[in-house]
Amino acid sequence: MRWVVFNQKGGVGKSTIACNLAAIAAGRGLKTLVVDLDPQGNASRYLLGDGAADARPNLADYFGKTLGFRIFQEGPEGFIHRTPFENLHLMPSSPELEALQPKLEQRYKIYKLRDALGELDAYDRVYLDTPPGLNFFTLSALIAADRCLIPFDCDEFARRALYSLLDVVKEVREDHNESLEVGGIVVNQFQARARLPRRIVEALREEGLPVLEPFIGSSVVVRESHEAARPLVAYAPRHRLTGQFEALFDAIEERSGGD
């Protein structure tokens, strides 16, 4: 099962959600891969720490290979790196992805990621982290995925933007990937005592949108885990947010049938 974490807005926790769900999957004994398609490389740093900057070959090398710009003969498995966490692997990002994007668009390489992941049948779970905005790499991830998770940060602007995100998923499904489904809306940085977030989430439910539970709260422990380059299940296994992520993982697995 391949999950893409998708939102055109930055700062909504895409990398945090992707890496923490992946770490939980790996901890449950599932062979798991994170694909970091964001040139900023936050997911790569979260899982490899300072070593992410020197991780080669990376996704820029993979896409460059498809253009004939890199001399790498390996299949897609040659671009995967082990992380310090058992069962958890990474296709790391690179700032070079930014410069490659227009060349990849011109040569219509939009299906290359799907084809690469199709060769990696050894993985039980794949999580794709995407950049903010709808660009070549985001679209590649949506085409390659089975299910889409949409982080939602509980304000009115985010609610209005949510409908356009759902339209994008629908359009990709109709034009490129008929198996793509919305796996759920992940309510992130939820403030349980504030009225506005509760009201907005309830409105989404009343509209029949697939809001997942539990909601993920906010805590400085998330930033601490970023700094330590250790997902929450490894950094603070007994913290309430870790428990929320584990319960969210279970809810996602149950909703998808655990395929």
At residue 158, the pLDDT reads 85
Query: What does the pLDDT look like over 10-38, one tens digit per residue?
Result: 889 999 999 999 999 999 999 999 999 99
Nearest-5° angle of CA 20, CA 164, CA 187?
A: 30
Helix/strand/coil (H/E/C) assignment for every residue in the chain:
CEEEECCCCCCCCHHHHHHHHHHHHHHCCCCEEEEECCCCCHHHHHHHHHHHHHCCCCHHHHHHHHHCCCCCCCCHHHHCEECCCCCEEEECCCCHHHHHHHHHHHCCCCCHHHHHHHCCCCCCEEEEECCCCCCHHHHHHHHHCCEEEEEECCCHHHHHHHHHHHHHHHHHHHHCCCCCEEEEEEECCECCCCHHHHHHHHHHHHCCCCECCCCCECCHHHHHHHHHCCCHHHHCCCCHHHHHHHHHHHHHHHHHCCC
Tally of CA atoms within 13 A in the half-sphere of 103 that contains its CB: 13
If you compute the radius of gyration of the chain from its CA atoms, what whole number of angstroms results?
17
Predicted pLDDT of residue 78: 93
pLDDT in tens, 178-206: 999 999 999 998 988 888 889 999 999 99
- How sure is the predictor about 258, in pLDDT bands with cuts at 50, 70 and 90? low
Residues 101-112 pLDDT 10s: 999 999 999 999
Strand partners, 55: none
> For domain 2-256, which CATH number applies: 3.30.930.10, 3.90.226.30, 3.40.50.300, 3.40.50.2300?
3.40.50.300
* pLDDT computed for residue 157 by the predictor: 84
Q: At residue 177, does pLDDT exceed 90?
A: yes
Average pLDDT of the chain to the nearest whole number: 94
Alpha-carbon gap, residue 135 to 113, rounded angstroms = 14
pLDDT higher than 70, residue 71: no
Q: What digits encode the pLDDT tens for the residues 211-246? A: 999 999 999 999 999 999 999 999 999 999 999 999
Task: Please give the Cα distance from 49 to 41 (Å, whole number).
Answer: 11
Average pLDDT over residues 159-185: 95
Is the confidence at residue 164, as pLDDT, over 90?
yes
Portion of the chain with pLDDT greater than 70, in percent: 97
Task: Express each pLDDT in 77-88 by its tens digit.
Answer: 999 999 999 999
Each residue's pLDDT tens digit, 130-141: 999 999 999 999
Q: pTM for this one? A: 0.96
139 in Cβ contact with 47 (< 8 Å): no
